[in-house]
Copies of this chain bind each other. A is one copy, B any other.
């Protein structure tokens, strides 16, 4: 394990105040799975009636816990969530499946529920067998300590190479009844849709049926977690779970057409976006948070592909790390995206500064102003394709020597 990286300069000043969610109790523990002297297990307990939705990695080689959660989701209800850091239990073959089954059994006993109401996630090293027997004594004791709130400790327990815990919250009026959403997430490398490589768990006291919850989550992920890339690599373990306890005093929502859903969906989207952006802000070695916006496209899909091509280009990302407004490399990345592009209609902006227009450097280009802009921590890179009216944006970070250092000796 490399020594912990210093706090990302893009970290928020502090962890936000996340209110307790009625029906959700949390506890963390030290199971000694890999790390010493820090928590590495998060256990969440949910009151009966809690519904659940999930979105997972699109990797063709998903981890054993992802397989488990996908199967469990068919039941649509959840009573407990167990997350460990330090070992991803991915590519561990039969042993991995056995570890998942044993963990679910231990967790179900601790939570007093059936195994199919247990949700599991693991993050850390891939390919090392996870010794699930380590959970045996731990989960009983942990469940006993579970209490409302404590989101910051929960966010800390699931960190791997993250340099700060990530949380976000929103309150929303559900047809006259106030409901709350609170979520946590971890990154920080192997981050690329779909999903962004990460774990995120979001909780609400709103009473929403599982199929409706799933529709909201599947839609919400598109412009949040699936719009974030750190290094173009996709984890085998990406997991985003949304739990709804239904403890708020509102009538249950069972239809997607329910008018009360609109503000709720907006609030959920904001929480997901906030968490996803924090993942990019904590990208391994990141020193700059980069928004790549593409306008003037013929479709949102085309805009997304061009934006991702730019956001994943090592040459664009190293240039930004070097505080170099190297728009030539942006052109390169537009060109390689495979979407329609007309060189002579392209405009490129860094912040408000137009550096290129109509296929060439902007005649009014001001090197000094651009250099000053590039020294900032928040970089907006905008490309106008000049072809249509569709647009999209994605979020990433720069590519620094620290990324290579962190990943060059992660396992050693």
B95 & A360 in contact (Cβ 8 Å cutoff): yes
Interface range for A: 35 or more
B407 close to A356 (CB less than 8 A) = no
* Contact present for A92 and B126 (CB under 8 Å): no
Residues of B within 8 A of A321 (CB): 404, 408
| B410:A326 contact, CB within 8 angstroms | yes
Question: Is A17 part of the contact surface with B, judged by Cβ < 8 Å?
Answer: no
Residue A75 at the B interface, CB < 8 A?
no
In chain B, what residue has the closest Cβ to A399? B404
Chain A 211-245, CB-CB to B under 8 Å as 1, else 0, gives: 00000000000000000000111111000000000
Q: Which of B192, B313, B336 contacts A59 (CB 8 A)?
A: B336
The answer to whether A313 and B126 touch (CB under 8 A), given A61-B346, A318-B404, A407-B319, is no
The closest CB in chain B to the CB of A331 belongs to B91
Instruction: Judge whether B94 and A359 touch: CB under 8 Å.
Output: yes
Whether the Cβ atoms of A341 and B60 lie closer than 8 Å is yes
User: What is the CB-to-nearest-CB distance from A350 to chain B, in angstroms, rounded to a whole number?
Assistant: 13
Which residues of chain A (355-412) have a CB below 8 Å from chain B? 356, 358-361, 399-401, 403-405, 407-412
CA distance A326 to B406 in the complex (A): 14
- In contact, B60 and A327 (Cβ under 8 angstroms): no
Q: Are B90 and A328 in contact (CB under 8 A)?
A: yes
- Nearest B residue (CB) for A358: B93
Interface of A is mostly: loop
A332 within 8 A of B: yes
Q: Name the interface residues of A295-336: CB closer than 8 Å to any CB of B.
A: 312-315, 318-319, 321-322, 324, 326-329, 331-336
- Residues on B with C-beta less than 8 A from A412 are 322, 324
The smallest C-beta distance from A375 to any residue of chain B, in angstroms, reads 13
For A232, the chain B residues whose CB sits under 8 A away are 232, 312-314
> CB of A137 within 8 A of chain B?
no
- For residue A127, CB closer than 8 A to chain B, the reply is yes
Chain B nearest CB from A247 CB (Å) reads: 38
A258 on interface, CB distance cutoff 8 Å: no
Give chain B nearest CB distance to A233 CB in angstroms: 5
In this complex, which of A319, A333, A408 has the most chain B Cβ atoms within 10 angstroms of its Cβ? A408
- Offer 29 A-B interface pairs, CB within 8 angstroms, sorted by A: A60-B340, A61-B332, A61-B341, A61-B343, A91-B328, A91-B331, A93-B343, A93-B344, A93-B358, A93-B360, A126-B332, A127-B328, A129-B360, A129-B361, A190-B332, A192-B336, A231-B314, A232-B313, A234-B335, A236-B331, A318-B404, A322-B409, A322-B412, A324-B408, A324-B409, A324-B410, A400-B404, A401-B405, A403-B404
